[in-house]
Structure 1
Amino acid sequence: MDRVDAHAILPGAKPRMMSVDPTTVLGAALDALVEPVLVTDAQGRLTFANATAARVLGAARDVGHPVSDLLERLPARTPDGGRLTPALHPIRRALAQGEALIGAELTLELEGRPAIFLVNTVPLRDAEGRLTGSVSVFHDVTGARQLEREATEHAAELRTLVDLINEGIFIIGADGALLFTNGRGRSLLGDMPAGEQPADRIKRLRICEVDGTPLPAERLPSYRALRGETVSAMTVLIAVADGTTRRTEVSAHPLRRDGAIYATVVTWHDVTEQTRALADLEAARAAAEEANQLKDDFIAALSHELRTPLQPILGWTEVLRRHGKLDDITTRALEVVHRNIRQQVRLVDDLLDLSHILHGKLMLRPETFDLREQVRAAVEVVEEAATLKGVRLGATLPDEPVPMWGDAARVQQVVSNLLTNALKFTPAGGRVGVRLESRETRAVIEVNDSGEGIAESDLPIIFEPFRQGRQSTRRGGLGIGLDLVRRLTELHGGTVTVASAGLGARFRVELPRSRPEAAASAPPAGARPRLESHAVLVIEDNADTRDVLKLMLEVEGATVETAADGEDGLRAAVRMRPDIVLCDIGLPDIDGFEVARRVRARGELAGVRLIALTGYGRAEDMREALTAGFEAHLTKPVNLEQLMALLVSAPR
């Protein structure tokens, strides 16, 4: 680098240390700077460039030449991107005006990249004040400007993000002044009046407790946070810009700097619609529960009304079948009546237990039976419908009994549902058949028809609840018949499958058989328990039911008295001290629950067995009966075998 006399570099300078070469000291000092330094004389000739200027600006070759050469070689741009002419360059202006120019920002292209400098230029004068030149220092702020730009962009991104948040966000200073609000906050508060004081803002917003009581300033979340408290989800009512009052959850957190609270950040979460929706949901839930309860009550009442008349019918058929002298026609007629009463009872049970059916909670009542009888019974159920429709109905059954252990009525229901389904899709002139095969370990029931068949796409869903084939839309039905077939079959440990190729369909049910010895061990039909020397009181308001129960029990050897209402029943119980009381629940004066409670309250009746016999068969009815003091709960109509099995176990 070219060196010049120190007096030439800084005209008017006087050496302060005569023992040291001033040129060496000054040059070394300027070269030690990390910022470019340029020195000119009064005529604008570049007289010095330090080492950094030589390296960064390439100014070494311009020393001794007009500084304008360097300026033209390194064109500068202003902060707004405009080109800076040499005449307006800080160096030229300082020389022309004789005044210092501090912090002039310009951008230079260095090695193909923009570099931003803050230029400080100071004019040099001699002892008499005459302008002798200038010195310029270039402070590189490229990195700082990049950081500022990134910070600005980041702040803009954060603001955009904060504006997208569906909560009002506010920053409130220690003096209560609103320092910041996001977009949601602005939509809630509206335009803020210029110079609005905190007290005026609080008054305008009418912040209240959820009961409408105005919230004191000292309890406001923002004020509490400015005192160092953190507030989470405090529910208040706020009057917003559109004139409505909104239910809002407000949170506030203090902001600290150097340990001192300088502001608080407050968030408002509008929960008005959410609260309204929850209230509507709760109202809908309550309405649904009420409707469901009304439905349950209706079904219970309907069940009671349907069951009650079935009891005398079933009772008389039981008496006639077991103790009457009947011809073949009458015997067969009674069997048909008895069988169909049982089927009707099952239908009532299904109605009452609909939720159990839909949730897979069906319960079986197993017994030993001949499967042929259930198939025959199922055929009889649909015979009339098949005849009326003109469909041929056939059954192929083994000659020998097919003993099974299971719920006979439910198995009959499986076959009946399959036959009903087949009949539904078979046109006049078609045929429906059922075939029973007895194998070593299982029984196979096949129901086939010559109907329109099942679409291949419907086969995978045919056993799902409420899922009917496409053809079913014009056939009616609830879509639960085949679902019940599947559930009942699986409860018996069996399987059901379907096949359809074009016209017609074939349903195949396979059920595990009971072992022969299990069937042989069943008690003979005539081996029924007797009730000799048992005193039984029947409390029943339905005369037909009362009479048939009395006859059924007397035939079995019991001494029976009856009463038509609860009060008469209580008086009879005190008088006769019965072993067993059969009591209806729906009595005309006091209900059966009250009868049970009063019986249990009397010491002289402590040993009496109380059995409820009622048309109400819900689980809650059974629980209430047991709570009241009944030891058992029988649902009408009850057959003689059920009744005897329970009564004979009663202690004398």
Structure 2
Amino acid sequence: MNDEFLGMRAVQEGAEDYLLKSEITGHLIYRAAQYAAERHRSRAREAVLAVEEALLNETRTLMEIMRDPVVAIGRTGKIIEANEAALKVTGLQRDKLAGTDFPGCFTATEKARERCQQLFVQGSFSDYPLTIRHQDGRLTDVLCNAAAYRDGRGKVLGALAVLRSMPASNSMPVHRARRVSSDPSEAAPLRVLLVEDNMADADFIREVFSDRPHQMHHVMRIADALACVAAQETDLILLDLSLPDASGLEGLRIIRDAVPGLPVVVLTGSSDDTLTTLALKEGAEDFLLKSEITEKLIHRTVRYAVERRCSREQEKQLAVEQAARAESERMNQAKDRFLAVLAHELRNPLAPLHFALEILQRPGAGESALKQARHSMRRQVTQLARLVDDLVDVGRINSNKLNLHTERISVARIVNAAVEAAMPELNKSGHELRVSAPSPDVHIVADGDRVIQVLTNLLNNAAKFTPAGGTISIGATLEESEVLIHVRDTGVGFDPAASSYLFEMFYQERRVTPASGLGIGLALARQLVELHGGTISATSPGKGLGAEFVVRLPVGLASSAPEKATAPSSAPPTSCMRVLIVDDNEDAAHFVALYVKALGHEPRVAHEASAALAIAHEFQPQIALLDIGLPGMDGYELATQLRKAPFGRQLCLAALTGWGQTQDRHRAAEAGFDCYFTKPMEPVKLREFLDSVSAGLVSGTPRA
């Protein structure tokens, strides 16, 4: 009794374990040494976890900045971390929320679970409607936006989900071992399931456990064991290897497959080392020979089995967290680069625009200089417009608001149009372009403009990353039900290991200058191709050895859909039109008016709604170009007021705005607009619109 007391005091003072000399056996001393070393490693891991926890606190701080509920979800669907807003919306405490089944927070649990599974396959989803079930029974409708995060090899580790307030399972549970103290005086009771059909052995083991605070449940068959584990929490299974419904290692395999993560110690009456070795390889934590079982040995075996399993889970969790943090840091660095490059790309056109304006203002500037200045300004404005269009397209795709307008179209026509669009960039560096267009008879069903956008992007990319005088080729072939379009270059190439990141947002592998683009072009290309049900891939033998990009698109029902005829670009004007221009940007309104007047029409300008209404009643316009974001009364309300005027029924209303989302277009239609244009509006489009109205091809919609 005194020896036992001294042993426990020794553990409290820092000893890893204690042995009574009178009870020492080779088997016992081997296990004591093994478990002491394991506990030492466990404490070292705990120290690492403490450091990781400090870093996790920084992540929590960033999550707390967001007002919407944000949760981090593990690969199994369990909540890893949540911000304060998430705690408020669920009504749970932080220690109770962590580890909670994320789909289980919603009324449609299975629907949410299916969506989570799709998330880990597809990578993200947006605005998915769900209803949160609060602890007090209240319900809240939310829109869930989620994105998966990956490790360095592209493997999905988990996801971040944002829950925004919506405007006016019968499967076997996966058990996790509880963390147990290595100090016997602080050991928490364990919930042990004994699976043993020999009643004498079962009675002995239950008697051994009777003087300890552990909870033990006894069954005699594997089927009963599975039912018991499904119904109640279990920390460990003591499993006999000879049962009525499973003999040998069969029962162990059934338990392991049904409840992964639950520690199992096998019981055997055989001293065959081969059987016990196989049991350990099959996933058993340890084994006990029935003939050698003592009270002290079985208690240590049980507790150390649970502790070892817990330690392994901590190691796995540590690896997952480290990978997630590394991925988060990589994405943060990419976003920082993106913001820096965005600033550069926006500033870049300003210098030539400033100098071109100075040349235009100089009285003595020759016609050649003026012509060059005008061409330079056109190039820079086009580049800025392309940059904004790419950013808008990415936003539309990410919010599932980009619609494809498909038609039966010739692949040769797509390739030739992309080549024509990319020629300025290709000619700038003197590249040799080789085109291998397919037969005009090869067609696909696709949004031609979007596919041309993808190929133009790839050609411009090839021109950008190929030294002057290089060779670039584009070609297309038909392979069964797919069209393959490849773009090759002799440029700087890339590390083959980077192919998995190349199409990610903000990623730039083939950087040749401090700012080689935003790093969204390839990501946008991939998203557009995937919207068509196709794929895009990139290969390179290595840096300096060129690259090849291959776009695969399904042919679709090309044989049954007629190719749309190309409509005339515009109609010749037949009469002078009265045009009202309303925009609070005075420069924009002034130059649009000058252009309209140069086209032979009569313009009037207003910079706010009340002035526009006054001018309209006197001017009686036939066409009104209205900015939406006006001060005071916005463009929607102004359109409604103009429609009520005597001249408003036949008035052709066109919205001219920087807002280009689908809902903006719907709202404009409801307000009475006949046409919708997003800024910056190209002069040629404005001319075509005015000519069409003048020729009667576009007219105001009569309103009752």
- TM-score (norm. length: structure 2): 0.37
- TM-score (norm. length: structure 1): 0.40
Which structure has greater strand proportion?
Answer: 1
